[in-house]
Amino acid sequence: MTNGAIHGEPGTEVRPKQDGTVTASGDEAYVIVKNLWPDARPSWSDVTSAGIFRVEPNGRFDLHYHDCDEYWLIFAGRARVTVGSGTYEVEPGDIVCAPTGTEHDVVGVFETLEGFWFEAATPEGGRVGHLHRTPEAAEGHDVPLISEG
C-alpha cells in the first residue's frame, strides 16, 4: 500500500482482512493495477492495454503499429519519435497520438524517456500487440543518445 492506494495484479490485494492480508476476485482484482491487458482488466473495460514504459540511451525499441489507436503520455525525459512520416521531439507533458495502423517509434533519446502508454479498444478481429511491416522492424533497433550542441 502506498499513499492509501493499493497496487496489485489480478487476484492480489484490494481489501484488508483482520490479519492485514487482502485478496479479491473478479473485477475487484483490477481496481488498481500496474498494467492492463486483454486478459487482465475489468470486464467493463475495452482498453487493449496500458502501463508505463521506459527507453534508455542505447536501449532497444521497434518501429511498429497497432490495430487500435495508441497514446503515449510523456512524464519524464526527452526523445525524438516518429509517427507516420513525421519526426517530433517530445518532453514531459506531451501526448504522442498514433492512429490505428500508423507506424511509430522512438528513434533517439536526449535522456531516459518515461511515459504512460494507452491502447484504445481493438476492434473485433483486430490483433493485439506490436505489429510490424518487415522482419527488420520486428527485430527492433538500438536507441542512440542524442547529444545536444
Cα 6 to Cα 31, 32, 61, 101: the distances in Å are 9, 6, 31, 35
Condensed to tens digits (0 to 9), the pLDDT of residues 64-91 reads: 999 999 999 999 999 999 999 999 999 9
d(CA 67, CA 130): 9
Place of cell 521531439: 89
pTM of the shown model: 0.79
pLDDT classification of 30: cutoffs 50, 70, 90: low
What residue spans define the domains of the chain? 1-34, 35-143
Which amino acid belongs to residue 17? K
| Mean pLDDT on 34-61 | 90
| Residue 111 reports pLDDT greater than 80 | yes
pLDDT of 148 strictly over 80: yes
Q: Which residue has the cell 491487458?
A: 37
Q: Looking at domain 35-143, does it have CATH number 3.10.150.10? A: no
| More confident site: 12 or 29 | 29
What single letter denotes the amino acid at residue 30?
Y
Is the Cα dihedral 109, 111, 112, 113 positive or negative? negative
